[in-house]
Amino acid sequence: MDNVAAVIGMDPAEFRLKNLAARGERTRPDLRALDMDMSELMVRVTQSFASESQGSNRRSRGMAVAATDPANTPIANAIVRLKIDGSILVSVSSIEVGQGAHATMARIAAQTLKQPFSAVSTLRADTAVAPYDWGTGASRSTVVVGLSVENAALDAADQILDMVVDVWELPKESLSLVEGGVSTGSEVLTFHQIFHRTLGVDSGEVVGRGAITPRSKKGALAESPLFWETSAGLAEIVVDEDTGEIHAPRYASAADVGRVIDRVAAEGQDEGAAAMGFGHALYEQLEFEDGQPLNATPIDYMIPRISDVPPVFDTILIENGDGPGPGGAKGMGEGAILPVAPAIANALFSAYGVRITDLPMTPEKVWRALQRGSEFMEFNMSMMVPATPGDLWKTLIDVPSISSCIPGCENVEEIAPLESYKAMVKQKIGPFKVEVPAEIVVESVTEPSHVRTRATGRDKFTGTRLAVILDVSVIPEDLGSKLTVDAKVDIQGRLASMGLGVIKRRVDQNFEEFETRLKSLLGAA
Amino acid sequence: MLPTPFEFDRASTVAAAVSAVGQEGEGMFYSGGTELLLAMKMRVIHTERLVDIKGIPGLDRIVLNDANELEIGSRCTHVKIAGDSVIREHVPALASLCANVANVRVRSVGTIGGNLCFGEPHADPPTMLGALDARLVLQGPNGTRSVHADDFIRSELETVREADELMIVIVFPRPTGPVTYRRFKHGERPSVNVGMAWSMEAGAHSIKSARVRVGALGSKPQPLKAVEGVLKGLPVHDAHRAIQSVLAAALDELDVNEDRHGSADYKRHLAGVLLLRNAEEAVAMQGRAT
Ligand SMILES: Cc1cc2nc3c(=O)[nH]c(=O)nc-3n(C[C@H](O)[C@H](O)[C@H](O)COP(=O)(O)OP(=O)(O)OC[C@H]3O[C@@H](n4cnc5c(N)ncnc54)[C@H](O)[C@@H]3O)c2cc1C
């Protein structure tokens, strides 16, 4: 995306916003239409960085967005048991491996039955006892198993309300669940009172059963994917140009999760996924020699530690309550892994114009790319001027008239005489439009023989960086003076990598033009 | 994997440890065990007898002796050296080196003696101790001898130490000028590291002599003779430029292995980057000191 944006001279974020599929649009005829707004994700990660001023010259930013279609088959069963003491047992076949699935199931049961979270336990999965589920994976448990838990809880609620209807002879519409029992409108019956009066003993439970199949919800769950798993990532990087090492001081990750059920766990999932993204982006690589792995231990196989991931990490979970799961939840946790590597690669591209396409982006790879990417262009000219060095010098330090010789140079502004200036350089090079607000610093002056100036700037459209070092010398000669100009031009960034050849030709032409204009200004030969 | 069976011996004196290792059958000293036990569990090292030296008193002392030399006992852990007030005062670069070796578990039990005796080519301390002109004191059945840090490591995982010689202490003159150290790593251990120590003329405006060691590139730390030569007698503020003038040729002389840590030209380049950064730091340190 960034490559295409660079070729047409458009900001990569703008390019994406113009072309993103909208909510409700299909990207493939056999897949569900997009159920979220990618642009919302992009806006949110951008806002996250907005508090910080634009990256300095040493820092650069890159963004990426991603969507994936998890294969979240809608088949699951759950059992929810509500006991006389108000405690609740949830039984599902979801496997808890630290992702928080069991706590989430407990939360869904608690919310549905309006009981405190502390009253609910999720039983350790044992497939001899727990009901059938298609599997723990594809970000499906919260949605599919969660819906079956919700159904099972509703079934249990129904049974307990039916007891009250039956024994107290009250209309069902007047009843509602409250913490510890059922409200009739005028009083609260505890679960103990209900079981005691209904069963005639001081024990008992109701067993709710919930099932989800492709036919549930009038077939609304049948189409694949059940929801889109999406994310946007915005990375800020600093490159050690000497070693090629990439540091990421800041990262923002946004995911549309429909609704958050357990905030700590949800953020942990998103951050964990992004940390794994940093792993494959910068570090992880299995190496083999003669078919044997060379780094098959954690000593040699590098996984990012907490000190290797960005110290400032913003996790944004977007909640529009529009997912297929309980309360509008969607699955999450896998999406955040996707944009990390491309966001970092885009940041590298935006600052240096180098594009790395095989992961991980190790320091050596980056260093080699930087070596190739930066190419100085040098230009020299010399001319005889029929004026004394002193007179020539006066003309030379008349900055406005000298800059009028530079093609495309406009709005020269003096900040401090013979110290610093500002100007705008506008160029159209082939298909590219370049507009560089340049800062010009006079680095050294030896009157009336030598002046060195440095002009630097960054193109408004492509972020391409331009640096020009100009050495101008005046040498006394018999018939006047000799003027020599040595220029070193360094262009780094997207433009350089897209069309260095075109740029070189253009800079060449500009220098010829500069020489011609200068000669006529000075009446030189 | 479990290691193959071995005897275990706890020595309480240096002499007892030396004689226990020297007995019939192959014995090995066991210090922090951070290298040794891993290798034994992988069954790439086998020993018939492990002689634990943790119980020997006096091997973990750090002092500035009467000869104005620093002495570091071989049993000092990285954590101990990193936090020691004498080291922090006189060689802060060594303290921070030890603070950044490996991970916290290895640092809190792994020792400097174990690090040196293992002879791992990507280690940090050998490079630094070479720059500091350290002597390593070994005690064997026939008494003690001392070996210059530069001569201690023979090759990868091989040192000049005899199996029944115990390293007891590391000694080096108290530095009189800036000591700097840098490593570059992208993984567990350094791909390259550079240690540099300047001793200063009285008045501290010029460098009397300089020692520069580059490690992790070949089988052992290597001196950068051309850089040492050009720095000799030079005013501090000319150091950076002088190094630059001989750097390319000096780096070419280095013996560099191409391996997972990088290709030769890249690692050579890195050595130059680290060296120049060390030089900048040294100039700044000397600027503050005078
Ligand atoms: C994960 C990991 C990362 C590491 N990273 C780094 C790093 O970044 N930089 C670095 O420099 N090092 C690194 N190391 C090495 C670490 O510094 C050493 O493991 C540690 O210092 C060894 O000390 P020890 O006391 O545990 O030695 P041991 O494992 O006990 O012994 C190592 C060897 O030395 C011998 N020995 C020990 N003490 C003596 C003695 N006093 N006299 C004679 N022989 C002796 C033993 O017989 C054995 O052969 C790393 C190690 C690990 C496991």
* Residue A102 belongs to some domain of the structure: yes
Strand partners, A452: A444, A471
Among A242, A302, A365, which would you mutate to test the B interface (most chain B Cβ atoms within 10 Å of its Cβ)?
Answer: A242
Residues A433 and A513 in one domain: yes
* Residue A163 belongs to some domain of the structure: yes
Reply yes or no on whether the pLDDT at B209 is more than 70: yes
With beta carbons under 8 A apart, name residues in chain A contacting B186: 245, 283, 302, 362-364
ipTM of the complex: 0.93
| A302 to chain B, closest Cα gap in Å | 6
Task: Say what the pLDDT of residue A493 is.
Answer: 67
Q: How far apart are CA A476 and CA A228, in angstroms?
A: 74
Global confidence as pTM:
0.82
* Residue A56 belongs to some domain of the structure: yes
> CATH: 3.40.710.10, 3.40.50.150, 2.40.50.180, 3.30.465.10. Which one for B62-173?
3.30.465.10
| B268 to chain A, closest Cα gap in Å | 11
Residues A401 and A347 in one domain: no
Q: Domain boundary at A370, A392, A417, which?
A: A370
Q: Which amino acid is at B157?
A: L
According to DSSP, residue A141 is labeled I
Residues A520 and A379 in one domain: yes
Among B42, B186, B193, which would you mutate to test the A interface (most chain A Cβ atoms within 10 Å of its Cβ)?
Answer: B186
Minimum-distance ligand 1 atom for the alpha carbon of B59: 41
Residues 111-150 of chain B whose Cβ lies under 8 A from any Cβ of chain A: none
With beta carbons under 8 A apart, name residues in chain B contacting A359: none
* Residue A11 belongs to some domain of the structure: no
Spell out the domain ranges in chain B.
7-52, 62-173, 179-289
Per-residue pLDDT tens digits of chain A, which is 525 residues long: 888 887 777 788 999 999 999 999 999 999 999 999 999 999 999 999 876 655 445 688 999 999 999 878 999 999 999 999 999 999 999 999 999 999 999 999 999 999 999 999 999 999 999 999 999 998 999 999 999 999 999 999 999 999 999 999 999 999 999 999 999 999 999 999 999 999 999 999 999 999 999 999 999 999 999 999 999 999 999 999 999 999 999 999 999 999 999 999 999 999 999 999 999 999 999 999 999 998 988 888 999 999 999 999 999 999 999 999 999 999 999 999 999 999 999 999 888 878 899 999 999 999 999 887 655 567 788 888 888 888 888 888 887 788 888 888 888 888 888 888 899 888 777 667 778 888 888 888 888 888 888 888 888 777 777 778 788 889 998 888 888 888 877 777 666 666 566 677 777 788 888 888 888 888 776
Residue in chain B nearest A363 by alpha carbon: B186
Residues A320 and A453 in one domain: no
In the numeric block, the tokens 């916290």 are attached to B104
Three-point CA angle B139, B140, B143, nearest 5°:
75
Residues A86 and A179 in one domain: yes
B169 lines ligand 1 (CB under 6 A): no
Q: For domain B7-52, give the CATH number.
A: 3.30.43.10
Residues 234-273 of chain B whose Cβ lies under 8 A from any Cβ of chain A: 260, 262-263, 266, 269-270, 273
Residues A185 and A321 in one domain: no
Q: How far apart are CA B99 and CA B101, in angstroms?
A: 6
Q: Domain boundary at A346, A370, A394, which?
A: A370
Q: How many domains does chain A have?
A: 3
B36 lines ligand 1 (CB under 6 A): yes
| Per-residue model confidence as pLDDT tens digits over B146-195 | 999 999 999 999 999 999 999 999 999 999 999 999 999 998 889 999 99
* Residue A5 belongs to some domain of the structure: no
Residues A186 and A293 in one domain: no
Residues A349 and A423 in one domain: no
Q: Is residue A454 within 8 Å of A469, Cβ to Cβ?
A: yes
- Cβ neighbours around A111 below 10 Å, total: 16
- Tell me, in angstroms, the distance from the centre of ligand 1 to residue B127's CA: 15
Q: Domain boundary at A184, A219, A254, which?
A: A219
Residues A347 and A463 in one domain: no
Angle of the A12-19 helix axis to the A38-50 helix axis, nearest 10: 160
B74 lines ligand 1 (CB under 6 A): yes
Token pair of A61, please? 């930013």
Q: Do A300 and B187 touch (CB under 8 A)?
A: yes
Residues A499 and A394 in one domain: yes
Domain range for A300: 34-71+225-370
Q: How far apart are CA A38 and CA A87, in angstroms?
A: 42
Looking at domain B179-289, does it have CATH number 3.40.50.10330? no
Of B188, B263, B273, the CB nearest to A364: B263
**CATH classification of the domain holding A96:** 3.30.365.10
Residues A155 and A106 in one domain: yes
With beta carbons under 8 A apart, name residues in chain B contacting A362: 186
Q: Which residue's CA is minimally distant from atom 16 of ligand 1?
A: B115
CA distances from B106 to A145, B35, B92, B286 (A): 44, 9, 20, 33
Residues A483 and A388 in one domain: yes
